[in-house]
Amino acid sequence: MAILITGGCGYIGSHTCIEMLDAGYDIVVIDNYYNSKPEALRRVKEISGKEFPFYECDIRDAEGLRKVFSAHKIEAVIHFAGLKAVGESVREPLMYYDNNVAGTVVLCQVMAEMGCKRIIFSSSATVYGTGNPSPLKEEMPTGAVTNPYGRTKFMIEGILADLCVSDPEWSAVLLRYFNPIGAHESGHIGEDPNGIPNNLMPYISQVAIGKLQKLSVFGDDYDTPDGTGVRDYIHVVDLARGHVKAVGYALEHNGVEAINLGTGVGYSVLDLVNAFKSANSVDVPYAIAPRRDGDVATCYSDPAKAAALLGWKAEKNVEDMCRDTWRWQSQNPKGYDE
């Protein structure tokens, strides 16, 4: 029996492969390498000291998926595969609906056909949209999203919930991630964004290493303690461990559950810049810039449901996140392109 990990070559997927192997699970990985490189999985094997099957396969390719499900006894699927760039989704909405939504439909069709009805889905805090106050709780209304990427996550949550209503054998755990940052403590795997990063932490680390000149802080007039945006940053290894717990839960329970994976603590942009500087003794030049469209002032989780249902809580602090990001960045200045 094995767990299939779609998008397992990506940032969160590669860290989750290691934690799943460490927990004793057999895994099978698929990825189409749209946003990742084979080197990531080579390093996962090196770190874990374990081998596992990999297939270069697109989740929209039903025939390819059937081959994978026929070759292995798959008990459950951790479904990371998807596109995640907010700005790109505004420019290319059909590409996002096709890849994320249609891709998930094809995956679920093949799963049902092959008798595998347990899925752990990578959702996002973005589904809470603009109307809810933090701390964000799972029972709050969702759907007031601000971009097509967010809408794909909201739509897929609905599709998986409908599936669980239609057939009580289905189990779907919708994991709503807050802001994953950090890297494996070995420094061998981490986030390797293409081009100029959109997200704060990779931007900070590329400024620190001199690849980018300075950070633009998007707005200092929000209603927050220092005026800059507040987010719930979570170490990617804690997040990966949350998936191990979610698999255990999905194997034992049917039906649908949405669960936040966050720390419950908010840090501002300047808090993170200062934490990075002091954890790593590096400089991070920045300048205040206008607000970025679509940003909310504050977004952090109530993590109580994950503790109650999964027995999981984040253990690493912001210093760990900053130190581990820097270890990865400074040891791999070109990411996986060495």
Interacting residues toward ligand WQD by CB under 6 A? 84, 86, 124, 126, 179, 198-200, 203, 215-218, 229, 231, 269, 292, 295
Task: Lay out the site mask for ligand NAD across 33-62 (x = CB under 6 A, - = otherwise).
Answer: xxxx---------------------xxx--
119 contacts 159 by C-beta, under 8 angstroms: no
Residue nearest to ligand WQD (CB): 229
Contact between 59 and 104 under an 8 Å Cβ cutoff? The reply is: yes
Length of the chain measured in residues: 338
- Encoded one letter per residue, x for contact with ligand NAD by CB under 6 A and - for no contact, window 65-104 reads ---------------xxxxx--------------x---x-
> How big is the chain by its Cα radius of gyration, in Å?
19
**What stretch of H or E contains 278?**
helix 269-280
Residues 127-156 that bind ligand NAD (CB under 6 A): none
| CB nearer to ligand NAD: pick between 136 and 165 | 136
Q: Identify any residues that bridge with 296 across adjacent strands, giving them in sequence order.
A: none
**228 binds ligand NAD, rule: CB under 6 A:** no
Our measurement of the distance from residue 123's CA atom to the centroid of its chain's CA atoms, rounded to an integer in Å, reads: 8
Give the nearest distance from C-beta 261 to ligand WQD in angstroms: 12
Catalytic annotation present for 96: no
Strands, DSSP E only, in 63-178? 74-79, 118-124, 171-177
| Catalytic residue chosen out of the listed positions 11, 25, 149, 233 | 149
Pair type for strands 233-235 and 179-181:
parallel
CB of 211 to ligand NAD, least distance (A): 19
Question: Phi and psi for 45 in degrees, rounded to 5?
Answer: -65, -40
Q: Of ligand WQD, ligand NAD, none, which one does residue 13 interact with (CB within 5 to 8 Å by kind)?
A: ligand NAD
Min separation Cβ 184 and ligand NAD, Å? 13
Residue 91 identity: R
The nearest distance, CB 216 to ligand WQD, in angstroms, is 5
Cβ closest to ligand NAD, residue 36 vs residue 224: 36
In the region spanning residues 103 to 122, those forming contacts with ligand NAD, defined by CB under 6 A, are 103, 122
CB contact at 8 A, 226 and 278: no
Give the contacts of 176 (CB within 8 A, at least 6 positions apart): 123, 124, 125, 127, 128, 138, 258, 259, 260, 261, 301
Query: How many Å from the N-terminal Cα to the C-terminal Cα in the chain?
Result: 36
Non-local CB neighbours of 191 within 8 Å, separated by 6+ positions: 11, 181, 183, 201, 202, 236, 325, 328
Closest C-alpha among 192, 171, 321 to residue 247: 171
Please identify, using beta-carbon distances, which residue of 122 and 147 lies nearer to ligand NAD: 122
Q: Pick the closer one to ligand NAD by CB: 85 or 273.
A: 85
Pick what 82 binds: ligand NAD, ligand WQD, none; C-beta below 5 to 8 Å, kind-dependent: ligand NAD
If the CB atoms of residues 35 and 147 are measured against ligand NAD, the closer one turns out to be 35
231 binds, among ligand WQD, ligand NAD, none (CB under 5 to 8 A by kind): ligand WQD
State the residues that interact with ligand NAD by CB under 6 A. Answer: 6-7, 9-13, 31-36, 58-60, 80-84, 99, 103, 122, 124, 177, 180
Catalytic residues: 149
